[in-house]
Structure formats: C-alpha cells, structure tokens
Amino acid sequence: MINMCSGDAYEYCVIITEETAEKIKSVLQVIADKDKLIKAILKEFKNPHKMPSSERGCEGMKLLNEQQNLLWEIVSLCKKPIAIFHVTSDNCEETWEACSKADYQPMKFSKLIRLTKGKLWITKEDIEKYQNATCVCLPSHHDEDEEFLELLGVITRRLEDYNEHKHTEPIDKIYYMLVDLNTGAIKSSGTLNSIVTEWGEEWYKHDERHYDVREVHVKETNVLDKETLDKTLETIYENAGRI
C-alpha cells in the first residue's frame, strides 16, 4: 500500500458478489429516501416568509448523520471481498472524478473501465479477469486507511497478496460494535474511538440511550483453498449471466 501524505485521498475498487451488491442497493435506497427528507427541510429554510423551527434543523442534522452511518454500513457489507484494488488518487483529476461519482454504487467492472477510460492503477491481466464481475468504488483518506482496509478484512499491506489468496496469516482482532438494544441490531462497527464517539452523539446529542458498545474478539485461522474459491467464482459468474 502506498504511504499517504496529509490531505491525500484515494479510491479503491472492490470486487464483490451479486448478493453483496443487492444488499448495498437496499442501503442506497434508504439513503436516497433520507435525502428527499433533507431536501424538504432545506427548502423550508430557504423560504423567506417563514422561518422553520430549530427542531427541524436538528432533524436535518440527524438525517445527515444517519446517511453517513449508512455509508459505513456499505463499507462493512464489502468485508472480505473477492478482490480489492488501489485504483486512483485525488491528483489524477479525471479518473478521481469518475470514481467519486460512482462511489458506493455497485456496477459491472467493465462499466467502471469505460467511465474512467481505462486509466486505473490495475494490470491488463486483472482487468481481463474481473471485467464481468461486480464492483463498487470506495473512498479512503490517509488517516483512516489502515482501519479502512481492516474493515474489509484485508490483513496484509500488499493487496496483490490478498488478491492472490496469500493472506494465510490468522486474523486475531478486536472490534467494537454499537448495538441498538431495542432491536438487537448492530448499527456500526470499528475502532473503540469511532464507536464511542458515535455512542456519545446518540447519548448526549440526541438523547438516545438505547445503545450499547460491545467488544468483539475475532479469531480466524481457516483459509479457503484456490479450488474452492475458483468454483465459487464460477458459480457467481454463471448466476450473473442468467440475470
């Protein structure tokens, strides 16, 4: 992985299954629904004849926070992807803009190639290998890059090793999760600092006290062999061809 300087931003292309893509589309629909509500509130604030209440402003901010949390949910859905590629940075303006417009949107990898005119940091061999696969572009910044990769289950600093299934070292990690005590659902997961910050916002800012922070120990030593992985990929591609 390239060392990042302060202020730098990068894009990753993550190869995912069709099942993951469908889950992401469902989350994107929820984000779009919240966006309609936010636009309605903004319209009220632009009305010169009627000043909306402060409660409406707080409601809008809460919706924005919920949208941000849903974007992290999409990242979590991409955990342990089929493959992951470091594809561009913010100093490659044309490619960066194309990838940024496609952020979090599942698509065929061949479509991403067209959108970026093939100007990605990826080999011809990998383009040919994954051109019919489904992918999603995910952004990352220097101060959260290592955590970002860990959220995807990437435990090696060489993405080439991950894509070639050489990531045989066992996972022995500790994660923290924000749990909704009313529903039992996991709202988000990550480092202690990020989750405690989110818990604090729910507790102090929104007076939502039905959340718990839980420490989860993850230990994994089984690594699938190449034959199993290849058969799974073949099934995925066969099913995608029937759609």
Q: In the chain, where are the structural domains located?
A: 9-166, 169-222
Could you tell me which of 7, 12, 157 has the C-alpha nearest to residue 74?
12
Higher-pLDDT residue of 6, 214: 214
Could you tell me which of 218, 209, 149, 220 has the C-alpha nearest to residue 179?
209
The pLDDT, as a whole number, for residue 52 is: 67
The pLDDT, as a whole number, for residue 204 is: 92
- Residue 161 vs residues 44, 104, 121, 154: alpha-carbon distances, Å: 52, 24, 16, 10
Highest mean pLDDT range out of 18-27, 150-159, 222-231?
Answer: 18-27
* Residue 16 near residue 237, CB atoms below 8 Å: no
Residue 172 has a CB neighbour count (10 Å cut-off) of 11
22-26, 65-69, 152-156, 175-179: the lowest-pLDDT one = 152-156
Q: Give yes or no for residue 87 having a pLDDT over 50.
A: yes
pTM recorded for the entire structure: 0.61
